[in-house]
A and B are shown apart, each in its own frame.
Chain A
Amino acid sequence: MAGPQTLLDGAFARRLERLSLVSRKRLIGQGQGDRRSLRKGSSLEFADYRHYVEGDDPARVDWNIYSRTDTLFVRLYEEEEVLNVHLVVDASRSMDWGEPSKLRYARRLAAALGYVALNASNRVFVWPLGATNSAYGPAWGRGRAGAMLAFVDEFKPVQISTPQVAGLGAPPDLEQSLSSFTSRAGGLVILISDLLSPNWEKALGRLAVRSGEAVVLHTLSPQELRPGLGGDVRLIDRESGAAVSVTLNNDAIRLYGQRLDEWRRAVESFSARHGIAYVPIDTSMGLETVVFDVLRRRGIVR
């Protein structure tokens, strides 16, 4: 397990075993776990009635009510269900940038959270966006940790070079990638991305309309937060190849800083309005600090 070992070292993994993911909603999942689910199912604890629709199990029709009202109702029971944890990792080319690489940072963060989830008997899915590998999961139980870590470490980004001509050969952006992520079930979706896309609102909108809970770990490198560039430069977009010619003087750097702050506030505001937990992450921070300090304070883990 050479690969996984580089993502999580032993001491860090042992500390992670004491953590669990927090779901603030009662989530719908599949399989039995240690969480209370909002899904009305067939366990012994009665929850509610609803109208019968085609395909419902006839055995669950409450015939007593039908006899009095001539209307078919099915009985719903509260079930103890397993939490589905979807780790959605943005593997676009913009993520493969920065010092340290944001993608590498995202892999380690996903590995840590996935490890926490498996240890807590959650059902774990890993969805790399913009990668050759489609998805990993479901997996549950700490016995699958090795396979999960290996997948996280090895999935390959689709785009491996910057296009010479702007737009030519550029992969779908974040919003399009997220559209391919089909949440077959609800649960906790954790998106690790830099959100560097003009369509970031639409992308987050896709997460918001889902049932379940969503968390955005907004991952930016120190070079994006505090650019050290200067002089007359042609900025080349790593994903699209688009070029922007600017003279980077003190004014320009100051304006960029203002623009960046406004954008992050806009993301945070949008997330708040749509019930998405927003956590900004600077990749210059240590991973343990992020997991045990930032995410814990934000109530993502406990």
Chain B
Amino acid sequence: MSLSFLAPIGLALAATLPIVVIFYLLKVRRRDEEVSSTFLWNDLIRDLAAHEPLQRLRWNLLLLLQLIALALIAFAVARPFSEQVGQKPVQAVLLVDGSASMQSSDVQPSRFAKAIEAARSTLAGLPENSLATAILVAAHPQVMVAATTDRRQVDRALIDAKPSGAAADMREALLLARSLGGDPVSRRIYLFTDGAFTLPPDLPDDLGSVQVVPVAQTSTGNLAVTTISTRPDPRDNRRQQLFTRVNNFSAFTAQAVITIAVDGQAVDERTVDFQPNGQTEQVFEELPAGAHWASVTVSDSRGDNGLTLDDTAYTVLTQRKPAQVLLVSGGNQFLEKVLTLLPNVDLYRIPAQRYLAVEADRFDIIVFDNYLPPLLPRGNLLVVNPPDRGPFRTTGQVRRPRVATWDREDPVLAFVDVRDMNVNVASKMDLPRWAKPLISTSEGIPLMASGQDGDRRVALLPFDLQQSNLPLMSAFPILMANLVNYLSPPGVVQVGDIQTGTAESLLPLPQVQTVRVSGPTDQAVEFRAGQGPITYGATDVPGLYRVQQIVQGGQQTVDDDLFAANLANPDESDIRPRLTGLNNPGPLDASLTVLQKEFWGLLAALVLPLLLVEWFWFHRRV
């Protein structure tokens, strides 16, 4: 074993050793104290003088300790190392599958625990000085520790890792491992997985050495609710129907009980026989009206069910509240008729002269027909033929304008054909900046516009409906239905049912200050509502998530909404190992190499007790 230095320049620090000695040779700056006589002190000088002028250097433990400490530091800074023969270090990337199927209990205590155990064992067996990276493969791969030689840090990260309840993105994880693994020659990717996934088809072929460490039993099965959805009953749209699909991911027959529950109360129960690798589709009709959510649970009475995470699926029963619409008009039969016929609309009518007597702010949509109040209400607006005042300025009128273009892509004009629309007289609107023309003449005069004015949505029709053929067209009820949809306030939850691991977008009401989301584990997270939607991504656990919109400093909840997260992934619920083609350990380079073993840490560790002894000694003397 030979001793060398990685940074021999560090030894130059030893040049400071004489400086320490000089400090001891220098005379200490002393405070003058007048005493009656030095007669009694003279005899004691020999014993007391710790520091004397340059000519004499006395034996001093402090000096010795300081010289030793400084010499150790200089030695450590030079990074001494000894050369030893050992295995070549590698750059190991430990990929631990954290997908939902890893929570299967076919191996005890779970596949995930087994994977962690195997990863720690692999980590311990890596050659000296190897770099290790640990990645948890989940819906989005999480780098727990990146490229470190500190094995304890990697080990702690592995112990702390938790599986998710979502499908894993194995392709992204493997690409990440390839990027973080560094040099392909020394890179070793270890994948600790149950192999219960289909290999992504578009994997690059330069992954290098990939060693798959399987942790699952080959003969295991699972029953799973893979689909759940609801729709309004065609005969009574206040009632809902529920459709579900349950799969038997097993090579054997099985029998199971499928239970449907509404708001937590079981309402139906069916016993179903499954063929090997078979499935059943069930429809539950006439769910109780007014229910908020439903769930389907499969419980096996006979068969193999290795994963419980997908035994229950939830769905939120959409209960869209009817839009509260206020029609302010001197009398418009067309508007009244069409709004009355539209579903999900509660219509209120008042003449313009009584507008100021009603509390307009409590309506979701206000339709102003040939009228505009001096102060606009807070709700969304449909403004028909507005007078020339307020925010909607006109620059004159146009007679018999011809429709030239309309925006077919805009949801407001979906399935609406206005090519035959004729208008007698239309106002030339000076459109605000937030408004987008939807229907225009060849001169660019807008005949319809919409836009978001701050928190409010506004749609504009700059002509009198009764002075056009629009109300007589088949497009009119479709246009009005689209407009009501556009102007109806959306709920806070954008998608009622999502897959675990995907993000939910939340759109709080304008007056809301805080949004609180409580997951199935009852852990609540609060968000400050501000500008724009909130993205909530902690949906790894299947179940119901409650969204509360809170105002007045947390005192009042203005809206309480739900969304459901389900695994709903047959590929993930099929927990049978089927991974092939990825295992490519490559030629293991078992050759030996000369390793540099540094031990500056030991030297640094010696300095600390030395300094402590010096401190103790110094304070003992004073």
Selected interface stretch from A78-86, A94-102, A141-149, A272-280: A94-102
A235 CA to B37 CA, complexed, in Å: 9
- State how many angstroms separate the Cβ of A64 from the closest Cβ of chain B: 60
Q: Mark B430-462, 1 if CB is under 8 A from A, else 0.
A: 000000000000000000000000000000000
Q: Which of B35, B36, B38, B49 sits near A247, CB closer than 8 Å?
A: B49
From residue 171 to 218 of chain A, which have CB atoms closer than 8 A to chain B? 194, 196-198
- State how many angstroms separate the Cβ of B29 from the closest Cβ of chain A: 8
A232 CA to B49 CA, complexed, in Å: 9
A243 CA to B42 CA, complexed, in Å: 9
Contacting pair B48 A238 (CB below 8 A): no
Q: Which residue of B lies closest to A242 (CB)?
A: B38
A244 CA to B35 CA, complexed, in Å: 10
Q: Mark B22-54, 1 if CB is under 8 A from A, else 0.
A: 000001111111111111111111011111100
Q: Which of A102, A240, A243, A252 sits near B44, CB closer than 8 Å?
A: A252
- Is B337 an interface residue, CB under 8 A from the partner? no
Contacting pair B37 A94 (CB below 8 A): yes
- Is A248 an interface residue, CB under 8 A from the partner? yes
- Is A37 an interface residue, CB under 8 A from the partner? no
Contacting pair A237 B40 (CB below 8 A): no
Q: Which of A194, A236, A244, A250 sits near B622, CB closer than 8 Å?
A: A250
Q: How many A-B residue pairs have CB under 8 A?
A: 107
Q: Mark A220-256, 1 if CB is under 8 A from B, else 0.
A: 0100100001111111111110111111111110011
Contacting pair B32 A232 (CB below 8 A): no
- Is B270 an interface residue, CB under 8 A from the partner? no
Contacting pair A232 B39 (CB below 8 A): no
A234-B32 in contact given A196-B39, A246-B41, A263-B40 (Cβ < 8 Å): yes
Contacting pair A238 B36 (CB below 8 A): yes
From residue 31 to 79 of chain B, which have CB atoms closer than 8 A to chain A? 31-45, 47-52
Contacting pair A244 B50 (CB below 8 A): no
Please, which residues of chain B bring their CB within 8 A of the CB of A237?
35, 37-39
From residue 118 to 175 of chain A, which have CB atoms closer than 8 A to chain B? 162
Contacting pair B30 A244 (CB below 8 A): no
- State how many angstroms separate the Cβ of A160 from the closest Cβ of chain B: 14
- Is A259 an interface residue, CB under 8 A from the partner? yes
Contacting pair A235 B41 (CB below 8 A): yes
Contacting pair A234 B43 (CB below 8 A): no
- Is A260 an interface residue, CB under 8 A from the partner? yes
Please, which residues of chain B bring their CB within 8 A of the CB of A234?
30-33
Contacting pair A249 B33 (CB below 8 A): no
A234 CA to B48 CA, complexed, in Å: 12
Q: Which residue of A lies closest to B42 (CB)?
A: A244
Please, which residues of chain B bring their CB within 8 A of the CB of A251?
47-48, 621
- State how many angstroms separate the Cβ of A22 from the closest Cβ of chain B: 31
- State how many angstroms separate the Cβ of A51 from the closest Cβ of chain B: 47
A60 CA to B19 CA, complexed, in Å: 89
Please, which residues of chain B bring their CB within 8 A of the CB of A240?
38
A102 CA to B35 CA, complexed, in Å: 13
Contacting pair B51 A256 (CB below 8 A): no
A232-B28 in contact given A247-B50, A252-B44 (Cβ < 8 Å): yes
A267 CA to B51 CA, complexed, in Å: 33
Please, which residues of chain A bring their CB within 8 A of the CB of B35?
97, 224, 235-238
A224 CA to B49 CA, complexed, in Å: 20
A246-B37 in contact given A234-B30, A234-B32, A256-B44 (Cβ < 8 Å): no
- State how many angstroms separate the Cβ of B545 from the closest Cβ of chain A: 69
Q: Which of A95, A98, A244 sits near B45, CB closer than 8 Å?
A: A244
Please, which residues of chain A bring their CB within 8 A of the CB of B50?
232, 247
Contacting pair B34 A231 (CB below 8 A): no
Q: Which residue of A lies closest to B43 (CB)?
A: A259
Please, which residues of chain B bring their CB within 8 A of the CB of A236?
32-35, 38
Contacting pair B48 A197 (CB below 8 A): no
Contacting pair B33 A233 (CB below 8 A): yes
A224 CA to B38 CA, complexed, in Å: 11
Contacting pair B49 A238 (CB below 8 A): no
Contacting pair B49 A246 (CB below 8 A): yes
Q: Which of B32, B36, B43, B622 sits near A233, CB closer than 8 Å?
A: B32
A196 CA to B622 CA, complexed, in Å: 27
- State how many angstroms separate the Cβ of A129 from the closest Cβ of chain B: 15
Contacting pair A196 B33 (CB below 8 A): no
- State how many angstroms separate the Cβ of B60 from the closest Cβ of chain A: 11
Q: Which residue of B lies closest to A102 (CB)?
A: B36
Contacting pair A256 B622 (CB below 8 A): no
Q: Which residue of B lies closest to A224 (CB)?
A: B36
Which of B29, B45, B622 has its CB near the most chain A CB atoms (within 10 A)?
A: B622
Q: Which residue of B lies closest to A196 (CB)?
A: B37
Contacting pair B33 A229 (CB below 8 A): yes
A246 CA to B50 CA, complexed, in Å: 7
Q: Which residue of B lies closest to A194 (CB)?
A: B36
Please, which residues of chain A bring their CB within 8 A of the CB of B28?
232, 245, 247
A248-B37 in contact given A231-B31, A233-B32 (Cβ < 8 Å): no
A246-B48 in contact given A237-B37, A238-B37 (Cβ < 8 Å): yes
Which of B30, B45, B621 has its CB near the most chain A CB atoms (within 10 A)?
A: B30
21 contacts between A and B (CB under 8 A): A94-B36, A162-B34, A196-B37, A197-B37, A198-B39, A224-B35, A231-B31, A232-B30, A233-B33, A235-B33, A235-B35, A237-B35, A238-B34, A242-B38, A244-B38, A244-B41, A244-B42, A244-B45, A256-B44, A259-B40, A259-B44
- For the complex with contacts A236-B33, A259-B44, A263-B40, 8 further pairs of A-B residues with Cβ separation under 8 Å are A94-B37, A234-B32, A234-B33, A237-B37, A238-B36, A239-B37, A247-B50, A252-B47
> Considering the complex of A and B, which 10 residue pairs feature the smallest CB-CB distances, nearest first?
A196-B37, A97-B36, A94-B36, A237-B38, A234-B30, A247-B50, A246-B48, A252-B48, A244-B38, A233-B33
